[in-house]
Structure 1
C-alpha cells in the first residue's frame, strides 16, 4: 500500500526528531518523504508518547493515523528492547494496543499503514486486522499467541472474543479512529461490551475530523484528564466546494452532463441508500457512462476488488454509500459529488474530505433540488460554511422550483404553544443511553 504524503499539508517548521521519535521510525519517515510533521502530529505525538489521554480533531487527510501509530509502535518496540515479537509474546491471546474503526476498509488501511511505519523495527511489533466479511478462522489463526496491535471493527472483535480467540484484559492503549462514528448510537452497545473487558487504567485516544457536541459529552466517561487538540484550519483550503441547483427529476441528467463535459477520469459519487447505488449506475449506463457500486451488501472480496480498482484508476466512476466516507485514502481523487445529501451535517465533511487530501487540489459538488435546500442550509450552519448556489447552462431551475427555493429559505414559524415544553433532543438521548450503559461498568 502506498501511504499518502500527508506532510504536504501546512508544514509546521518542526522536525519529527524534535517530537521524540526513535531512529528506526525517523528513518522510515524519511524514506516515505515525510519532511515535517503536520499540525496534529506536531501537537499530539509528544502527549501520546507521554501516556496522556487525548482527543484529537483535525481535517481529513491531515495525518491522524501516523499521530497515534508512531507513538504506539515506539512504546511497544522500546518495551521489547527491539526483539522480534515472536520471541517476546506473553502466553495467552492478549492484545497490547487496540484500535477500533467503523468499517472493514478502514481497518485494513490502518493496519497496512502501521506495518509500513514499522518497516525498520526488525519485526518487533506484530499488527493484526480483524473485520467481518472474510473467514473468521484465518483471523483466529493470526491471533494465536496474541498480538501487539489489533485493528478491529467492533462486531467481528466481539465474535472473536466469544470464541476465546482474543482477550482484552491487558490492553494498555485504546484508540477510537473516526471517534464520532464509534460513539454514535449504532456502536454504543458494542463499544460498551468491549470496554467492560478492558482494564480501567489505560491510555485512551480519540481521533476524528468532526466532534459534534453530543460526542464531546460522551467522552467524559471514557477519558481521564485528556489533552484536547483541535487543528481544523480556517486558512484557504485546497478543496473547492460548489453547489448546483437543479429541477426535480433532472439530477441524473445534470450529473451525466458534468461528467461528460469535464471529462473527469476519477469521480466518487455519494448516495444515501444501497438501492440508489444500483439505480443510479443503471441510469448512467444508459447515458454511456460506466460506473461501479460500493455498499454494505457487497461481499468483502467484491468490495476490495472495487476499491482497489478505483484507487488504481481502472474504475473511473464509483457510486457509494457513506461506508466510503470515513477515513479512506484515495490519492489525488479530483472530484467528489453529493448526488444525495448526507443525513448528518458531520458526514458532509467526511464525504468531501475524500478529495483535496494531503494538499492536493480537489473539487466537491453537491446537487440540490428545492426539497434539499432547507437541509443543505442546516449542513452549512453546522459546518460554519456558506456556499453560493449556482446553475449549469441548459439545466436552469424553472420558475416554480425557484419560488420553492425562496420559500424554503424562509424560517418556518413555530406553531402556537410550541415553546411551552422543551423537547429532549437526539444528542441528550444518545448521552443518556451511553451513561446508562456505562455507569455500572
Structure 2
C-alpha cells in the first residue's frame, strides 16, 4: 500500500492488509489533486478510497479544507467515525454536521474546534453557508458520496453554486455504486475535467449469492419466521414502503423472530440502537425501507431478504450491498412467485447468478427437494397408459391363444333359473274343508 506510516498504523490496528480495487486505482489521481468519478459496488471500501488520500494531503490548520457531502444523517456520522482515527493520526480534526443535531451547538463547535474535515448533509451544509459559517472559498476538495443520490434535480443547482465559489485549483470527487446522467457528464455541472475510475466490471462478487425463494404473499410471514431459525441468521429485511413494513412488523411482533425497525419515521437514536442490537446479537433482523439501504455498514450481516421485490436495479444493488462487505460471504434472498423470478432476473441483470433456493426444515439448499405427489391429471394419464397396455396384451394373446387364455375368454354358461314351488302357508289362514 502507498499510504504513509500514520495511515498504515491505523489500518494495521483494523487488520486491513491490502487495498481494494477502487482504493488502489483512485489513490494516485486523488493524491495529485485530480477531480475523479469513482464507481464501485457497495462494500468495496469507497470511504477509504476518497478519504485516506485526502487526509494525507490535508495540512493541519487548513480550516474547512475538505467538505464531504452525504445523503443521510446516519451516513454522515458513519463516515465521520470511519475517518476520525486516520485524521487524528495526521493531526486533523473532523466534524459531522447533520440536520438532527443541535444547530446552535454545531455553530459553536465550528468556531471552537475549527475542523479541517467536515462531513455534512446537504440541508445543514447550505444552512451553514447561508449563515456564512462555512465558506466555499476555503474548501480545497468537495466529495459527493453516493453521488447519484445527491445529484438530483432539486440539489444540482445548489451544489453547482457551491463548487463555483471554491478555489479554481480545488478538486471534486464523485463516488458511488451506480452512475447517473450527471456523473456521466460531470463537466457540465462542475466545469472541472474528470478522471473516470469505474471498477464495477472488474469485480466479480462471488462472495454474494443471489437466491430466490418461491412463496406466495399470504405465506411470506410464516416463511420469514422459519428463516429466522437458520444457523447464524442475521438479516436486513427490505420493504418498499413504511406501510408494508409496519403491517408485517405488527404480525411478526407475536412471533419468535426478534427484530428492530429502520424506517423513514424512526429517529436517529432508534436507528442507531437497531444497528447496534443486531451487531451484538440482541435481535436477529432489521426491518428496513430503501432509505436504510444507502451506505449502512453492518459488519458480518449474513442475509439480505427482499420481502418486497425492489423496483429498480439501483435499489437491488444497494440492498444487496448491505451483505458480503469487504469480501465476507453473504446471501440475498428475494421472495415471490415464478413471475417475480423472471422479472427480477431481468431487472437486476443477474442471469444465471439468480438461483432458486428451498427451505427444507430449518435449512436452505439449492438442491430441489423430493418430488411432490403427482397431480390428478398425471395419475389419470398413468391410468390410461396402463389400460392401453393391458388392451394390447390381450389383443396379442387373442391372435395366438393359449389353452388358459381360451378358458379365460370362454363365456361362462348361463345358469338355468329354477322356479321353486312354494307351499302356501296355511297357518292362521283358516280351514277351507267341508263342514261336519
Q: TM-score, normalised by structure 2?
A: 0.76
Structure 2 alignment gaps of length 5 or more: 362-368, 373-436
Deviates more, 1:223-232 or 1:202-211: 223-232
Aligned-residue offset at 1:180: 1.7
Aligned partner of 1:329 in structure 2 is 297
Aligned partner of 1:8 in structure 2 is none
1:170 pairs with 2:141: no
8 Å CA contact 1:59, 1:209 repeated in 2: yes
1:150 pairs with 2:113: no
Equivalent position SS for 2:253? helix
Aligned-residue offset at 1:234: 4.6
Equivalent position SS for 1:55? strand
Aligned partner of 1:403 in structure 2 is none
Aligned partner of 2:344 in structure 1 is 376
8 Å CA contact 2:87, 2:93 repeated in 1: no
Equivalent position SS for 1:95? coil
CA distance in 1, matches of 2:323, 2:292: 12
2:204 to 213, 235, 240: 235
1:148-194 Cα offsets, whole Å, 9 max, x none, are 11111101212222333322222110111111212234643553454
1:97 pairs with 2:97: no
1:134 to 95, 101, 105: 101
Aligned partner of 1:245 in structure 2 is 214
1:205 pairs with 2:180: no
1:304 pairs with 2:272: yes
Equivalent position SS for 2:18? coil
CA distance in 1, matches of 2:335, 2:187: 35
Aligned-residue offset at 1:384: 6.5
1:285 pairs with 2:256: no
Q: Which has the higher contact order (CA 8 A, sep 6+)?
A: 1
Aligned-residue offset at 1:385: 6.5
Change (3 A) 1:301 1:235: closer
Q: Please say which structure displays the higher CA radius of gyration.
A: 2
CA distance in 2, matches of 1:63, 1:271: 26
8 Å CA contact 1:345, 1:378 repeated in 2: no
Aligned partner of 1:405 in structure 2 is none
1:259 pairs with 2:228: yes
1:271-300 Cα offsets, whole Å, 9 max, x none, are 111222222111112233232111121122
Deviates more, 1:59-68 or 1:184-193: 184-193
Equivalent position SS for 2:139? coil
8 Å CA contact 1:293, 1:318 repeated in 2: yes
Aligned-residue offset at 1:393: 6.0
1:240-296 Cα offsets, whole Å, 9 max, x none, are 110122223222222222223x15442111111122222211111223323211112
CA distance in 2, matches of 1:159, 1:384: 46
CA distance in 1, matches of 2:271, 2:315: 21
Q: TM-score, normalised by structure 1?
A: 0.75
Equivalent position SS for 2:243? helix
The alignment of Structure 1 onto Structure 2 pairs a total of residues equal to 362
Measured on the aligned residues, the alpha-carbon RMSD in Å equals 2.7
1:359 pairs with 2:327: yes
Aligned partner of 1:23 in structure 2 is 5
Aligned partner of 1:315 in structure 2 is 283
1:68 pairs with 2:60: no
1:108 pairs with 2:90: no
CA distance in 2, matches of 1:274, 1:296: 7
1:82-130 Cα offsets, whole Å, 9 max, x none, are xxxxxx46xxxx5211111111111011111111223422xx2111111
Change (3 A) 1:352 1:119: same
Aligned partner of 1:32 in structure 2 is 14
Structure 1 alignment gaps of length 5 or more: 1-15, 81-87, 398-441
Equivalent position SS for 2:65? strand
Equivalent position SS for 2:240? coil
8 Å CA contact 1:154, 1:190 repeated in 2: no
CA distance in 2, matches of 1:302, 1:130: 19
CA distance in 1, matches of 2:182, 2:215: 34
Aligned-residue offset at 1:318: 0.6
